[in-house]
Structure 1
Amino acid sequence: MSQAPVDFTRVRAVLFDCYDTLLDISTDERGLCGYQTLSTWAAYQGVRIAPEDLRDEYRQRIAGMMAQSTEAHPEVRVEEIFAGICRDYAAWPLDETILGVLFARSFRASTVRRLGAFPRSRRLLSALYGYPLGIVSNGQRVFSEVELRMFGLSPFFRTVVFSSDVGCKKPDNRIFQVALRRIGVEPEEALFIGDSMTNDIIPARRLGMQAIPIREAWPLFSV
């Protein structure tokens, strides 16, 4: 193995980003196609809304909540967005809370265009056997947690923190700090692996963690 860019004598836990690090994903939340499918699905649940209106309502409600937030990097919970749409467009009485969760997951299924686990990242997780592992992700637990389970990645991790849990997104320090507390290490005892310099590597290093891009981690561990 070549000279490591990481001092492993200090590492007691490893934290990962999720998307474009562990999971390879592409979505289309702007095009109308996904909303046409979702609008038809919604009609069967008792929510009557045209595809164009559904797209506009979803985007405008998220933008409105973001604008009202005092956070520098605000986050919403999409199941709450969809619960509000269900309430306002209900054709008959329904449980908007439960339906909001189902709506969010159906939305993801309708708008995802590519989804899979990087084989090299899966091998990397196995190579790190013995280290407590965690995830810090700008993601929505309502469907991101399902995606980790879908590809058999959940058992590797002691803790998983999504931005929807915390109410703010990376690069905000707090989302990293939540994961560090849960996994029980200080920043200088953690290694962070991600794909984004802005959201992953720079803020992790600023907190005192060691951090490397995923594409450097793969050859480092010969996976």
Structure 2
Amino acid sequence: MYKQDHQRLLNILREADQPLAPIPTGETEQLHLLEGIRAVLFDLYGTLFLSSAGDLGLHEDQTADRVFANALEAADLRPLRGTSIDWLEAWKGLIRDEHQRRREEGEAFPEVEIREIWYRFGQAFCDAPPAKTDDPAWSIAALTYETGVNQVCPAPGVLSLLSTLRQHNMLLGIVSNAQFYTPLLFEAYLGAPYPSLGFRPDLCVFSFQLRSAKPSPAMFAGVLKQLIEKDGIQPHEVAYVGNDMLNDIWTASQAGCRTILFAGDQRSLRKRQDKPACANLQPDAVITELMHVLECL
């Protein structure tokens, strides 16, 4: 179990809070009614939360080396040698190595636990790093870096949407490529932990927990099993809302779910037209405002 200074992590998120406005995509809405839906699952980055990177910030921009140096300082980590560019490249190399190791073990879509990557970096490159894998320094470094390369804020209407869905007795869940800090976004920016906003914890899965990422079918398997066994809800009675045609729409449709493409922000809309799986793929509905989910149910 990783030790987290919960309040400090929330403070890091809140100090990085900068409003983002959706950038129109020019897409035409297709507000088709999906009959018989009893549960709604959501992607997170680029759907419930707008993201300057359009996704997790593990893929950085040109200023990432400076952000990386700031993250080291925030966590009181002192590299023994090299420059911030060297440190960032070494860190990225550790991620690549872990992905390759998992692929060799048979995982087609591997995900890292980013605190493990920071721990390995600290042991290899830093002077007197914390010896324990669960030291809060790794969480602080990881979140400071993420907030520096990826601004995040709630999508317009998200609280109203969740409230209305709860009033209509919809079961709510999350299936998201995510890291340990991702669930904290709800408390930091929406004022309450995600279960308090109506998401049932057993219907929420984050990729770092499984060490597998969308478009892996494993991301949906556990949630759908819960819905079938506990609630008697079949996959065709589940709507999944996401912004990525491959990771979200294709993967959810392969699992038997109905699909709603959120095409409300140019930064995060991923049409994936270069992917054979998406060549002839159509979502069941397309929305450009999150609240329009309600018009499809």
Q: Where does residue 50 of structure 2 map in the other structure? A: 24
Matched, 1:122 2:159: yes
**147-156 vs 56-65, which deviates more?**
147-156
Alignment correspondent of 2:181:
143
Percentage of identical aligned residues: 25
| Cα separation, 2, equivalents of 1:138 and 1:109 | 16
After superposition, the CA RMSD in angstroms is: 2.4
Q: Does 1:177 align with 2:221?
A: yes
**Residues 4-43 of structure 1: pairs in structure 2 closer than 5 A:** 5-9=32-36, 11-27=37-53, 29-30=60-61, 31-42=64-75
Higher helix share: 1
> What is the distance in 2 between the residues matched to 1:48 and 1:110?
23
Post-superposition shift, 1:12? 1.8
CA distance change for structure 1 residues 148 and 54 in 2, over 3 Å: closer, same or farther? farther
1:18-167 matched pairs, under 5 angstroms: 18-27=44-53, 29-30=60-61, 31-42=64-75, 44-45=76-77, 48=80, 50-69=83-102, 70-92=106-128, 94=130, 95-98=132-135, 99-112=137-150, 114-129=151-166, 130-140=169-179, 142-152=180-190, 154=194, 155=196, 156-159=198-201, 160-167=204-211
Deviates more, 1:90-99 or 1:205-214: 90-99
**Which residue of the partner structure matches residue 253 of structure 2?**
205
**Match for 1:36: what amino acid?**
A
Once the two structures are TM-superposed, the CA of residue 206 in structure 1 deviates from its matched residue by 1.9
Query: Matches of 1:17 and 1:93 in 2, distance apart?
Result: 35
Letter in 2 for 1:84: R
Structure 1, gaps ≥5 residues long: none
Q: Is the 8 A contact 2:80 2:126 kept in 1?
A: yes
Larger mean CA deviation between 55-64 and 180-189 belongs to 180-189
Question: Paired residues, what number?
Answer: 217
Deviations along 1:31-90, one digit per CA (max 9) or x if unpaired, are 322123123334x24554642222111110111111122211111111100011122234
User: Is contact 1:22-1:122 (8 Å) kept?
Assistant: no
2:46–2:243 Cα contact (<8 Å) kept: yes
Distance 1:126 1:206, change over 3 A: same
Q: Is the 8 A contact 1:39 1:48 kept in 2?
A: no
Quick one: structure 1 residues 60 and 198, their matched pair in 2 at CA, closer, same or farther if it must change by over 3 Å? same
User: What is the one-letter code of the residue matched to 1:26?
Assistant: S
Q: Is contact 1:38–1:51 with CA below 8 Å preserved after alignment?
A: no
Residue 93 of structure 1 deviates from its aligned partner by 5.5
Taking the aligned partners of 1:133 and 1:39, their CA distance within structure 2 comes to 37
Distance 2:110 2:217 in 1: 13
Verify the 8 A CA contact 2:236 2:256 in the aligned structure 1: yes
Q: Is the 8 A contact 1:82 1:104 kept in 2?
A: yes
Cα distance in 1 for partners of 2:133, 2:253 equals 42
Looking at structure 1, the residues matched to 69 and 241 of structure 2 have their Cα atoms a distance apart, in angstroms, of 37
User: Structure 2 stretches of 5 or more lacking a match?
Assistant: 1-29, 264-286
Residue deviations 1:7-44, cap 9 Å, x none?
332x22110000110001124624322123123334x2
Partners in 2 of 1:6 and 1:177 — Cα distance?
25
C-alpha distance 182-37 of structure 1, shift in aligned 2 (>3 A): same
Distance apart, 1:132 and its partner CA: 1.2
SS at match of 1:122: helix
TM-score normalized with structure 1 length: 0.86
Deviation string 1:101-159 (CA, Å, 9 cap, x unpaired) is 222122223323x210012233222221121100000111x211111221226122113
How far apart, CA to CA, are the structure 1 residues paired with 2:251 and 2:129?
46
Shift in alpha-carbon separation, 1:166–1:220, aligned structure 2, 3 A: closer
Q: Distance in 2 between matches of 1:110 and 1:146?
A: 16
TM-score between both structures, scaled by the size of structure 2:
0.66
